Structure 1
């Protein structure tokens, strides 16, 4: 953990605290406190600094708490949990959980207050101000059908949409293959990675990132945070629990006869592309098509201008509307 993150849980939003008091608690000098506060501000933490009064957060933050999360996980998930860890700062939660190498049938979960080398699809960097959003990764080895493995980003999308709709009553929709939207603004994304032979319980890592109180700046598309749609404080512990509990329920359902078919049908209920004219960005060209849902393998079904329908997978295209 970087030393500066020791300051974060001591800061309050309802009262100023002097630099000397904070320095005494932390066992450092007042200039060190000032330096750490400045670094946190550079990372996106909104801190009010007033000479003679000290430091105060501009708004309350919801820090992740391992004990609270563990106590509220479903008993069925706790029974297969191998690791649950909350990191203050980390390069990548996906990398961390994959390194835990959970045993067959077991789950490893990691969330971070700040992730400085988070990745999206095609290696894009994804960063978030500390203690503002939700970044959680789950690594597991389950007896999932091959089609469920390859459709894992869609299944994680179903789980996340269920959780947010149930907990917050927000109209979350899904954009193939791995994005979460509210109306036409991006709320978050999912990154799935597979390690090993699909025929032999491979390691599946599912990373989920959600804009909770802040949205990224400088994107080439509209973005939204849950705080813009929900009144009152948002508890990231509660959101994390809801998401991973639903993910466990969804992946359990995917292992049952007919479960994957049901889940892909449910994904279709949240589909924000169906019936829309979209542009497929292929490796060397683009094509305007109409989105027609997904097939039984979770591939996007599209209709070309000549009426021909065909399926594409996430490794082939990027969709823009």
Structure 2
């Protein structure tokens, strides 16, 4: 697969390139180039193929640039950085960053142009065409309160909303516990995983999948990409830098209980289901309730038809409207 991705940086959107020229640049045969183009198209990259002229991208593609991303990180984040890596293709960025085993206080960051075993909550598969959306994970080992660990997806959601609103002025909102929305369409999701003893500097991995240029296939709900609502071109490097810097800031903030309280309060400002009637899916039962925000632990507070209020956690339920 990695050999296949050698082709992508050579393709242009403003002119055709012959199979012979591409083959010479890559040190392969013309049939190999043709096969790679076919595979890229099957993965979702829009490539025009014209006999006698060659190959051309339908739209420009901006690849992730490690040096540019590193330069854009805050000085504080660079000082604790264990590793920053950009992969052409990877099964899971969350798996990769957890395997780097950052020391206490350190951060590992990985982004991929294509992720072929990306996961959401409850093991759902998340895939998108190469070099089109944002798939990034961080792993950190920090002395965080238990509340911060268990509310990590909410905290990461606040960071992502801050970054997107400041960079693009788009009304991104949050749906408990880990989804990013614009109006009633899903923009992305966050997957948090904990490795180790919560009382002894566990590794916390935070994975973000964000629809930038297009919507992934196979979703069972309305979806939106930033390109649908933001005019002009979008720079994934700029977005990644802004999001990761905000993630660093919020996870410094939640090292105290006061910081956790502040972040949960801010999360409430972006809550897109508060006071809405939603369906609560628990085990084999579906219950209609009204969402009433989150409690001090980051659990969803709901109100039943008879007026009873109770809290549920992300491991128990799925919320739909």
What is the TM-score when the length of structure 1 is the normalising length? 0.99
Partner secondary structure for residue 139 of structure 1: strand
What does residue 63 of structure 1 align with?
63
What does residue 165 of structure 2 align with?
165
1:161 CA drift (Å):
0.4
Matched, 1:195 2:191: no
What does residue 111 of structure 1 align with?
111
Contact map agreement 2:145 2:257 (CA 8 A) in 1: no
Q: Distance between the aligned counterparts of 1:72 and 1:39, measured in 2? A: 33
Matched, 1:236 2:236: yes
The equivalences for 1:133-172 within 5 A come to 133-172=133-172
Q: Distance between the aligned counterparts of 2:107 and 2:62, measured in 1? A: 25
Contact map agreement 2:173 2:183 (CA 8 A) in 1: yes
What does residue 288 of structure 2 align with?
288
What is the TM-score when the length of structure 2 is the normalising length? 0.99
1:34 CA drift (Å):
0.5
Q: Distance between the aligned counterparts of 2:15 and 2:226, measured in 1? A: 26
What does residue 184 of structure 2 align with?
184
The CA RMSD over aligned residues, in Å, is 0.7
What does residue 227 of structure 1 align with?
227
Q: Distance between the aligned counterparts of 1:256 and 1:164, measured in 2? A: 25
1:217 CA drift (Å):
2.7
1:257 CA drift (Å):
4.8
1:231 CA drift (Å):
1.0
1:59-81 CA-to-partner distances (Å, cap 9, x unmatched) read 01110000000000000000000
Q: Distance between the aligned counterparts of 1:257 and 1:93, measured in 2? A: 29
What does residue 7 of structure 1 align with?
7
Contact map agreement 2:90 2:116 (CA 8 A) in 1: yes
Q: Distance between the aligned counterparts of 1:195 and 1:116, measured in 2? A: 22
Equivalenced residues, count? 321
Could you list the structure 1 runs, at least 4 aligned residues long, displaced by more than 4 angstroms after superposition: none
What does residue 315 of structure 2 align with?
315
1:219 CA drift (Å):
2.1
1:255 CA drift (Å):
1.0
Q: Distance between the aligned counterparts of 1:293 and 1:29, measured in 2? A: 59
Q: Distance between the aligned counterparts of 1:231 and 1:220, measured in 2? A: 26
Partner secondary structure for residue 220 of structure 2: coil
What does residue 211 of structure 1 align with?
211
What does residue 80 of structure 2 align with?
80
1:150-171 CA-to-partner distances (Å, cap 9, x unmatched) read 0000000000000000000010
1:54 CA drift (Å):
0.5
Partner secondary structure for residue 119 of structure 1: coil
1:130-184 CA-to-partner distances (Å, cap 9, x unmatched) read 0000000000101110000000000000000000000000100000000000000
Q: Distance between the aligned counterparts of 2:260 and 2:62, measured in 1? A: 35
Gaps of 5+ in 2: none
Matched, 1:120 2:120: yes
Q: Distance between the aligned counterparts of 1:157 and 1:176, measured in 2? A: 9
Contact map agreement 2:179 2:188 (CA 8 A) in 1: yes
1:238-287 CA-to-partner distances (Å, cap 9, x unmatched) read 00000000000001111135111010000000000100000100012111
Q: Distance between the aligned counterparts of 1:219 and 1:258, measured in 2? A: 37
